[in-house]
């Protein structure tokens, strides 16, 4: 996984602060360029249309809002100074998901690091309208940071962060998306000399005999996913279980103190959105660590 350009959208919430710190640590580790992006969403200022209709200076209002956003972003970066990383600052105007997606594609970003909100209804709506769409449609992997991992990011020398990854979990349904996520998971595991666990959850209710047979078959399929040339180089474990996918993934992540969960993110169709929301979304919200969503 080549990471040379990292994009971190900033909305000045505590969640984007967590994401920004994580992005700094990744940029330091990979020696990558970091871009801090703030989107000025004019649609949040409905009075602007009335001001324009009444003869007000709408263009001047836009300039003021962009200028204020730029100053706020500059102050945000000053408050989180990093002596090894000097981020590039970018201001866009529009709706956040559209602006983030178009900027990432136009600037050939290798990774987007985004903060996600909590579990309350309003926060869920925020995730669904921004992070959810970016994760499903981005042209590059998206790292969703909801809860800070227990020890993956630690303060190093003053003005630096040290990034650790000891345990990576790859969730697979054996689809093309999951295969792409596996490639990234293997790369990250090698980069950090970590341990990689592959998990597949069987959802059907099975008798004891059929359950054992199904789990044995799944374990065999999991083992075949690791390329032959990687089997000795990468420390891997296989885990097959029965139940609701997100529950099993979250429970195991907590128990095994997983530092990063990698999953395949699906597209923008109604079925894909429902599948994404029922598993990946819940792992992001309920899990103990960041989730890397990879879209084919």
Identify whether residues 12 and 143 lie together within a single domain.
yes
What CA–CA distance (Å, rounded) separates 21 from 77? 10
Question: How confident is the model at residue 122, as a pLDDT?
Answer: 39
Identify whether residues 129 and 169 lie together within a single domain.
no
Report the predicted TM-score, pTM, of the whole model to 2 decimal places: 0.86
Domain boundary among 115, 136, 164: 164
Structural domain harbouring 94 = 1-164
Average pLDDT of every residue of the chain? 83
Q: How many domains does the chain have?
A: 2
Identify whether residues 143 and 7 lie together within a single domain.
yes
Q: What is the pLDDT of residues 84-140, one digit of tens each?
A: 899 999 999 988 999 999 999 999 999 999 988 644 443 444 444 577 788 888 989
Q: What is the pLDDT of residues 4-54, one digit of tens each?
A: 999 999 998 888 888 999 999 999 999 999 999 999 987 666 555 555 554
82 pLDDT band, cuts 50/70/90, is confident
Helices (H), the chain: 14-30, 47-53, 58-79, 96-106, 121-129, 131-137, 176-192, 208-225, 245-255, 270-278, 280-286
Q: Are 249 and 169 in contact (CB under 8 A)?
A: yes
Identify whether residues 178 and 262 lie together within a single domain.
yes
In this structure, what CATH number is given to the domain that contains residue 138?
3.40.50.620
- Among 58-67, 118-127, 185-194, 243-252, the minimum mean pLDDT is found in 118-127
What CA–CA distance (Å, rounded) separates 275 from 271? 6
Domain boundary among 144, 164, 184: 164
Identify whether residues 100 and 239 lie together within a single domain.
no
Identify whether residues 37 and 148 lie together within a single domain.
yes
């Amino acid at each position: 996984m080549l990471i040379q350009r990292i994009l971190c959208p900033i909305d000045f919430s505590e969640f984007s602060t967590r994401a920004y710190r994580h992005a700094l640590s990744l940029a330091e580790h990979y020696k990558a360029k970091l871009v801090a992006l703030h989107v000025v969403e004019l649609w949040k200022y409905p009075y602007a249309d009335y001001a324009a209709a009444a003869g007000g200076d709408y263009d001047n209002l836009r300039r003021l809002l962009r200028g204020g956003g730029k100053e706020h972003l500059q102050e945000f970066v000053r408050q989180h100074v990093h002596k090894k990383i000097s981020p590039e600052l970018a201001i866009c105007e529009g709706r956040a998901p559209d602006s983030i997606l178009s900027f990432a594609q136009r600037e050939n970003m290798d990774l987007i690091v985004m903060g996600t909100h909590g579990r309350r209804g309003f926060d869920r709506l925020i995730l669904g309208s921004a992070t959810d769409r970016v994760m499903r449609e981005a042209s590059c992997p998206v790292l969703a940071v909801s809860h800070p991992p227990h020890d993956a990011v630690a303060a190093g020398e003053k003005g630096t962060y040290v990034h650790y990854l000891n345990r990576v979990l790859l969730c697979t349904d054996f689809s093309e998306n999951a295969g792409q996520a596996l490639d990234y998971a293997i790369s990250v595991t090698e980069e950090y000399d970590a341990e990689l666990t592959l998990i597949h959850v069987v959802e059907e209710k099975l008798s004891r005999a059929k359950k054992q047979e199904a789990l044995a078959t799944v374990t065999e399929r999991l083992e075949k996913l690791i390329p032959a040339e990687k089997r000795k180089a990468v420390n891997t474990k296989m885990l097959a279980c029965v139940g609701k996918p997100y529950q099993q993934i979250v429970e195991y992540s907590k128990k095994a103190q997983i530092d990063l969960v990698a999953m395949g993110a699906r597209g923008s169709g109604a079925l894909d959105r429902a599948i994404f929301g029922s598993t990946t979304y819940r792992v992001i919200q309920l899990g103990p660590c960041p989730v890397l969503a990879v879209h084919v």
